[in-house]
Structure 1
């Protein structure tokens, strides 16, 4: 094995936790855009290759914005802690941890640079990665980082995301985050074990408050698919979609949630440092194989049409 290969393999941590065995449930269908008639009859992976930009699984709003760029923004602003785990000393990612520390509001974003105090959408120079030159970004890029970074896929297309809110996060969160990110990537209560569901129903908390208060993680993965959608009197159209699945993490100790002495209000806030490693530069398309589901809760979130 050459030294370059060893260095690349060491960028990621070995698998340290067993995978969950709960069933994935379809929790959101994100409609990307309408598939044009001339490619409708082609295989799904061919359609994806003809529609999506090379190496990306999202439609970029500006050039030269890859997954590594978006991860760097979230790390630099101490919004998210990333950890990547591999299996059997290989570079194939088994799962990725995504610990949410904070979501900056427009006002907090402006506070990062006194020259843009009146407009978060003014561009500013920011160094978001070590040993890299400053880049020109604004608050829209920060929002796009949240929207796009989870659409990373490695060559196996079998990895998953472990997501959780760290108790340091400040609530309430920005409206765009709630109506966009949480609607798209948040879990469904259908993944809860019965005892946790009972505790949730008695808590009088929103789902996000409940997940935050007890730092409950959820496991997420996604895949490409197609869906026919009827638009009023315009007829039926076929959309390329990203179907998002979530499930319960079986190793989570839920005893302190269900016992009578569980805390009735969110815990105190504190600060946590940010940890990160980099994504691989090359992002490939997933294998569009459906996950089976016995209970489906659809939350539609339209993209470009």
Structure 2
């Protein structure tokens, strides 16, 4: 900060630099925080409620924002710079996809004159989210930190992390966990995170619920070793095949077919197993120092002088 803008009260310092009502660097003066809030509301991306002090109707004490969806670039259109018109009168009358991205940050820079405003952020129940890549950076900044997790949420997240296949997902485990179980957290403007209040139902993210979630979403389950995964996959296919048997006779016939297929597959795999064993023996010789140094013995005479 430049010396002429400095003040021991940071809110007074920013008031010297920013236009009235702004707590971020404006691109144009008519792109206010309300402009960015209207973008998110008008695109049905969020639901926002502001709560006022009963003694002062002009004072917003806190706000809630429910995340309904995060619009992908392809859902906006082929040209991200092409302005879209609002569904209701507003100034400015249009916005671009870049404004939409900025809205997810600038909407939170709301503050009251007591500097005690806070946001309750939460996801919607039974909603599948498809987050764009830029939203992951938003999550790193505005998402909750593990230090504020209630014990039940922490236990559920630990279980979720152990089972979640993060190698196959670009979405981090904590974002997937919070969005899948519709959890909430508090964010305050002063870059401080508040604790999740006990009045919120955290049991929906407990250990048993995490296990149930992976049963419904097996595509996110961390795989076992390849052979085990292949075995489990075949086992599942065979179970479906046998379940289609409508009588004892058909079941007996299907069981014989399954047994025949398994025996045939085992016979086909035997040659490959032998090759692997032979290769392992050669590898053992390569690793043996005796075989590695055999060339060193050439030219050495064992006869005494």
**TM > 0.5 between the two?**
yes
- Separation in structure 2 between the aligned mates of residue 51 and residue 266 of structure 1, nearest angstrom: 53
- Separation in structure 2 between the aligned mates of residue 266 and residue 142 of structure 1, nearest angstrom: 35
User: Residue 32 of structure 1 corresponds to which residue in structure 2?
Assistant: none
Secondary structure of 1:260 counterpart: helix
User: Residue 121 of structure 1 corresponds to which residue in structure 2?
Assistant: 81
User: Residue 76 of structure 1 corresponds to which residue in structure 2?
Assistant: 42
Secondary structure of 1:172 counterpart: coil
Could you say which structure has the larger radius of gyration? 2
Distance 1:39 1:62, change over 3 A: closer
Distance 1:50 1:132, change over 3 A: closer
1:260 aligns with 2:226: no
**Gaps (5+ residues) in structure 1?**
1-34, 111-117, 224-242, 269-305
Secondary structure of 1:49 counterpart: helix
**Gaps (5+ residues) in structure 2?**
165-172, 218-305
Q: Which moves more between the two structures, 152-161 or 132-141?
A: 132-141
RMSD of aligned alpha carbons: 2.4
- TM-score norm. by structure 2 comes to 0.61
Number of equivalent positions: 205
Task: Answer 1 or 2: higher relative contact order, Cα 8 Å, separation at least 6.
Answer: 1
- TM-score norm. by structure 1 comes to 0.61
User: Residue 106 of structure 1 corresponds to which residue in structure 2?
Assistant: 73
Aligned partner of 1:93 among 60, 66, 79: 60
- Separation in structure 2 between the aligned mates of residue 73 and residue 266 of structure 1, nearest angstrom: 37
- Separation in structure 2 between the aligned mates of residue 96 and residue 248 of structure 1, nearest angstrom: 15
User: Residue 165 of structure 1 corresponds to which residue in structure 2?
Assistant: 123
Contact 2:50–2:63 (8 Å) recurs in 1: yes
Contact 1:160–1:221 (8 Å) recurs in 2: yes
- Separation in structure 2 between the aligned mates of residue 134 and residue 251 of structure 1, nearest angstrom: 40
Contact 2:118–2:187 (8 Å) recurs in 1: yes
- Separation in structure 2 between the aligned mates of residue 119 and residue 70 of structure 1, nearest angstrom: 20
Could you say which structure has the higher strand fraction?
1
Secondary structure of 2:63 counterpart: strand
Secondary structure of 1:162 counterpart: strand
Contact 1:73–1:128 (8 Å) recurs in 2: no
User: Residue 266 of structure 2 corresponds to which residue in structure 1?
Assistant: none
- Separation in structure 2 between the aligned mates of residue 43 and residue 171 of structure 1, nearest angstrom: 40
Could you say which structure has the higher helix fraction?
2
